[in-house]
Amino acid sequence: MSEETSASEQESQAIVEAGPVSSWLSENGFANEPLARDHSGVELVAVEPQVLLPIATALYAYGFNYLQCQGGYDLGPGKSLVSFYHLVKLSDDARQPEEVRLKVFLPRDQPTLPSVYWIWKAADWQERETYDMYGIVFEGHPGLKRLLMPEDWVGWPLRKDYVSPDFYELQDAY
């Protein structure tokens, strides 16, 4: 094996060091997987759907009292859907707030996870938009229904395997 191959293999298999939030979660018995930090240095943590609620509750108690953004994206046809949560720890020193982003990878045939609405009320419309565009179902959400598309729309428009209809006929428009 040449030195070039060895160096590129090492780069592609780089070990991700756990950040402070991932370490805190692990120390307190919460299963998680640290991911590489994003382009702005925010810590990313992958969690399983069944532990999202206990982890979100623990992070809220730990001081992450602001859900800045909840959203979703599609990794591609036949691949997972992702629900992400960008959390911020707001304190008196607002110049340098602590941030973390949780990611939950879901199978596209049954993308279901619990709603965090009961922890952060800001999740209300954000979860509805993610449901409307990607079909991720948030169990326990108080009013999970279409937000942007008509209620009788078929499909999830932002999925990468979505086939756009040739036309959409408005029913009872008059």
What is the CATH number for 23? 3.30.460.80
CB 102 within 8 A of CB 84: yes
In this predicted structure, what is the pLDDT of residue 118? 96
57 domain residue, yes or no: yes
Q: Please state the domain count of the chain.
A: 1
- Who has greater pLDDT, 17 or 96? 17
User: What residue type is 18 in one-letter code?
Assistant: A
Tokens at 122, concatenated: 């800001």
86 domain residue, yes or no: yes
29 domain residue, yes or no: yes
171 domain residue, yes or no: no
What's the domain range around 19? 3-139
151 domain residue, yes or no: no
Q: What is the pLDDT of residues 109-151, one digit of tens each?
A: 999 999 999 999 999 999 999 999 999 999 999 999 999 998 8
62 domain residue, yes or no: yes
pLDDT, average across residues 69-93: 93
